[in-house]
């Protein structure tokens, strides 16, 4: 989904809404940010690290994390928020996001930086 870094977060939120409206379960969706954390991640972390990570295991809601986070982050659908610059940083995050996606990866922003990594991938036309 084309967007500049300042718009990527908003585009990702719209994408998550569309995924949920189309019938995806919230527990199937993982949102990863390349730059600043998603506000919902910051909110959830305010309750403590243990509670935050328990939500990943419970898989009842959309989970938000930093794209550089290690560990067992995997969901059927991954939405990558490219809200930072740096071709190498974006490309690395895109590769990790693709590895974490079971069936669908949506990249919001930075699409030119990652296009060569996924030849043949559908690239939507901007609305």
What are the boundaries of each domain within the chain?
Answer: 5-113
Q: Which residue has the higher pLDDT, 35 or 3?
A: 35
What is the Cα–Cα distance from 86 to 46, expressed in whole angstroms? 29
pLDDT classification of 126: cutoffs 50, 70, 90: very low
Give the pLDDT of residue 121.
Answer: 58
- pLDDT tens sequence across 31-46: 999 999 999 999 999 9
pLDDT classification of 124: cutoffs 50, 70, 90: very low
**Three-class secondary structure of residue 24 per DSSP:** coil
37 φ, ψ (degrees, to nearest 5): -60, 150
CATH annotation of 5-113: 3.40.50.300
How is residue 43 written in tokens? Answer: 């909110």
Q: What is the pTM of this model?
A: 0.88
Q: In this model, does residue 77 exceed pLDDT 80?
A: yes
**High-pLDDT (> 90) share of the chain, %:** 65
């Amino acid at each position: 989904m084309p967007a500049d870094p300042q718009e990527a977060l908003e585009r990702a939120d719209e994408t998550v809404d569309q995924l949920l409206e189309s019938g995806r379960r919230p527990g199937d969706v993982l949102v990863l940010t390349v730059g600043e954390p998603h506000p919902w991640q910051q909110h959830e972390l305010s309750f403590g690290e243990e509670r935050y990570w328990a939500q990943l295991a419970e898989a009842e809601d959309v989970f938000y994390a930093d794209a550089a986070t290690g560990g067992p982050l995997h969901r059927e659908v991954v939405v990558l928020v490219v809200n930072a610059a740096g071709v190498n940083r974006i490309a690395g995050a895109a590769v990790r996001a693709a590895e974490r996606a079971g069936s669908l990866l949506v990249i919001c922003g930075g699409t030119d930086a990652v296009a060569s990594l996924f030849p043949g991938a559908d690239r939507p036309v901007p609305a």
